[in-house]
Structure 1
Amino acid sequence: MTENRIKAAVIGAFVADALSLGVHWVYNTGVIEKKFGRVEQFYDPLTSYHKGKKAGDFTHYGDQMLVLLESVISGGGFDAHRFAETWRSFFADYGGYFDQATKATLENMDAGKSLTESASHSDDLAGASRLAALVPVYHDNREQLVRTAREQTAITHNNDRVILSADFFARSVLAVLDGNPPGAAMEATVKAHFANSSIASLVTMGIESRDRETRETIAEFGQMCSVEAGLPGAVHLISRYADDFKTAMVENVMAGGDSSARGMMAGMVLGAAHGMAAIPEAWRAGMTASQRINALLAGC
C-alpha cells in the first residue's frame, strides 16, 4: 500500500496541474463556471498564457516538475547542479510560458552566475510545488527529502518563505505516508517545526478555514501565485477535502487564479493519503505525459 501511495503522491500532483491548465490564471470564477460549468475534465487553455498547449498537457509548473522527476530518477537521486543544468537546457527551446522567476533565473545563469546561485527572489509558491517529484526516491529518508525539497526550490526561488513552504509540505507528506490523516499531519508538523516561523500563521489560517466554502475562502486568502495567498489556499483544500481527492481538485480549479501551484501541493498530500484508487482513471490516463511518468516511476 505504501508503494501505491508514494506513486499517488506524484500522480496526484501531476493531475492537479493538468486539470488546472484549462483555466489557469483565470481569476473571475464566474467566467470559469459560465464557460465550463464544473471543471471535471481536462480542457485546452482558455487564456493566452499557455498558447499552444492542449488538454492533458501541463502548465509550465508541471513541465518543470517532470524535468525534476527525470533528473532524480535518471541520476539515482537529487543533484542540485544536474537539475539546474537540465532545467536550463529545458527552457532553451521551450514553447510555453516563461514566468518572472524563470526569466530572472535564466538571466542570472546567462550572466555567468553559478547555476545553483542564480535563483530569482520570487515569492511564488510554484518554486516549492515541484517537490512531489522527490518523494519516490526519498520517501524513506526524512532528512534527505526535506533537504532536497529546500535545495530544488532554491534553484529558482531563493526566498525564505517559499523554501519554508517546501520544507513544510515535505514533512507533511511524509507524515501522511506514515499513516497520519492529512489535517493531523499538517497540524503536528507546523507545531513541531514551524511554530515561530514566517509561515506559521498562513498554515494556521488554512487549517482553521476547513469548514468554510472554498471559493469564498480562497478569494479572501488571494488567488495569486505568492506564498501569502497560495500556501493557506493549499492547506485549506487538504483540510476541507481530506477524504475526497477528486472534489479537492475540482474545487481548487473552480476557485480560479493560480490553481496549479495550490493544486500540486494538495494533490501530492491527498494522493499520499488515499492512493491511486482515489485519482480518477480518466485523469491519470488523460495526461499527455502519462506513459512517460509511469515509466519513470516503474524504474524507482
Structure 2
Amino acid sequence: MTTSSSAVIRSAFLADALNLGPHWVYNQSAIARLFPDGVYNVHDPISQYHPGKSAGDLTHYGDQMMCQLNAFAAAGHWDQEVYQQKWQAMWRDSESYMDGATKETLARLEDPSSPASMSSDMAGASRALLVAAMIDEASLDEQISAARTLTQFTHGDPEVVDAAELLVRMNYLLVSGTNLPDAVQEACQHPYPELNAKQYFEMASSRLEADPLQAAEDLGLTCHTSEALPVLLFFLLRYPDDIASALSTNALAGGDNSARAIPLAMLLTQANGWGSYQEKVYAEVNQRRHIDDILVQCESEN
C-alpha cells in the first residue's frame, strides 16, 4: 500500500466522521439552522439513528470500513473470507446502527436458506472503494473483482454492484493521471450490465449551474443508488478541486450524506492530494491512531 493510498483511506474515515452529525436528516433547513457556518468539523449526531455515538465517532458505515481495515491488517492482504468472518463477529457485540442490508446478511449467514440482501443502498458501493485503495498495486480487473465481491456480500442489487465498479474505474483513472472531470465522464461512459451511468452523468452535469442544495434535493437524497450516485457525481463535477466545500455542501444537503461523502472524499483526495483541510478534520476522528497504526504497518510491509 502506497503513502498516497493511505491518504485516500484516511479521507474515507474523516468524511464518515464529519457526516455523523447531520446523517440521515432530510430537512435541509433544520441542518442549516444547526450548522449556519457549514459542516467543517465533527459534531454529535442530531438524529436518533446513532445512539451512543459522539463527535469524532464513525457511523455504522465507518464501523464496517474499520472492519475492512482490520481484516486487511490481520491477513496481510485483502481476503474476502477473513473480512466476512470479522464482519459477522463484529455485529455480535456492536451497538452500531444495524440497517436492513446488515440484518438480512446476518440472517443468511445463520441460515443459508434465508433470502440474500438485495439492498440498493449506495453505501455498499461506497465502502467497496476502500478495497481498491488497499490493493492499489493490483490490476484494474483485480480491484474491480474485489470491489464487486465485497459489495455483493451485503448489497445484492445489481445496480449497486455496478456502482462499485464505476467508483473503482474513476479512482484508477485518477491514479493514471486523468483529471477528475475527465475521469468521472470516462468511467460513466463505460458500459455496465445494469447501471446506466451515462444517464446519471447527464443528470448531474445538467445541474451544475443550479443551487447545489436544490440540485441535490432534485436528484434525490435517499440511500438508493439511483438517487445517491447522481448526487455524488454532481458534487464531484461541481467541486473538482475544493474538498472542503464539496464535503460541507454534501453534508448540508442531508439524507444519506455519509454514503456519498465517503467516495467523494476519497476521489477528491486521489485527484488533489492530502491538504490542510483533511489534516484538520482527520485530527478530530476518534479512531485515527488505530487507523494510522494499521496504515503504517501496511506501508512498511510493501
Q: TM-score range by the shorter chain?
A: over 0.9
Counterpart of 2:162 in structure 1 is: 164
Q: Distance in 1 between matches of 2:267 and 2:276?
A: 12
Letter in 2 for 1:219: E
For 1:236, which of 185, 209, 234 is the aligned residue? 234
Alignment of 1:137-286 (within 5 A): 137-140=134-137, 141-194=139-192, 197-277=195-275, 279-286=277-284
Letter in 1 for 2:19: S
1:293 and 1:98, CA in 2 relative to 1: closer, same or farther beyond 3 A? same
Counterpart of 1:30 in structure 2 is: 29
Sequence identity (%) = 31
Counterpart of 1:123 in structure 2 is: 120
- Tell me how far 1:107 sits from its aligned partner: 1.2
Contact persistence 2:126–2:263 (CA under 8 A): yes
Q: Provide Cα deviations, 1:215-241, integer angstroms capped at 9, x if missing partner.
A: 111101111000011001111111110
Alignment of 1:28-67 (within 5 A): 28-37=27-36, 38-67=38-67
Q: Which runs of 5+ in 2 are unaligned?
A: none
Q: Distance in 2 between matches of 1:192 and 1:52?
A: 42
Contact persistence 1:172–1:185 (CA under 8 A): yes
Which deviates more from structure 2 when the two are superposed, residues 159-168 or residues 279-288? Answer: 279-288
Q: Distance in 1 between matches of 2:144 and 2:188?
A: 14
Letter in 1 for 2:89: S
Contact persistence 1:57–1:287 (CA under 8 A): yes
1:187 and 1:134, CA in 2 relative to 1: closer, same or farther beyond 3 A? same
Counterpart of 1:8 in structure 2 is: 7
Q: Distance in 2 between matches of 1:228 and 1:73?
A: 33
Letter in 2 for 1:285: A
Q: Distance in 1 between matches of 2:61 and 2:194?
A: 29
Q: Distance in 2 between matches of 1:207 and 1:58?
A: 31
- Tell me how far 1:210 sits from its aligned partner: 2.9
- Tell me how far 1:133 sits from its aligned partner: 2.5
Letter in 1 for 2:35: F
Q: Provide Cα deviations, 1:256-286, integer angstroms capped at 9, x if missing partner.
A: 1100001111111001111111543221111
- Tell me how far 1:289 sits from its aligned partner: 1.0
Q: Distance in 1 between matches of 2:211 and 2:294?
A: 37
Q: Distance in 2 between matches of 1:276 and 1:74?
A: 26
- Tell me how far 1:205 sits from its aligned partner: 1.7
1:119 and 1:182, CA in 2 relative to 1: closer, same or farther beyond 3 A? farther
Q: Secondary structure at 2:109's aligned position in 1?
A: helix
Q: Distance in 2 between matches of 1:46 and 1:93?
A: 24
Alignment coverage as a number of residue pairs: 296
Letter in 1 for 2:32: E
Q: Which runs of 5+ in 1 are unaligned?
A: none
1:36 and 1:196, CA in 2 relative to 1: closer, same or farther beyond 3 A? closer
Counterpart of 1:135 in structure 2 is: 132
TM-score for both structures, normalised by structure 2: 0.92
Which deviates more from structure 2 when the two are superposed, residues 8-17 or residues 216-225? Answer: 8-17
1:291 and 1:277, CA in 2 relative to 1: closer, same or farther beyond 3 A? same
Over the residues paired in the alignment, what is the CA RMSD in angstroms? Answer: 1.9
Q: Distance in 2 between matches of 1:62 and 1:280?
A: 17
Q: Secondary structure at 2:255's aligned position in 1?
A: coil
Contact persistence 1:121–1:159 (CA under 8 A): yes
- Tell me how far 1:71 sits from its aligned partner: 1.1
TM-score for both structures, normalised by structure 1: 0.93
Q: Distance in 1 between matches of 2:116 and 2:80?
A: 12
- Tell me how far 1:192 sits from its aligned partner: 3.3
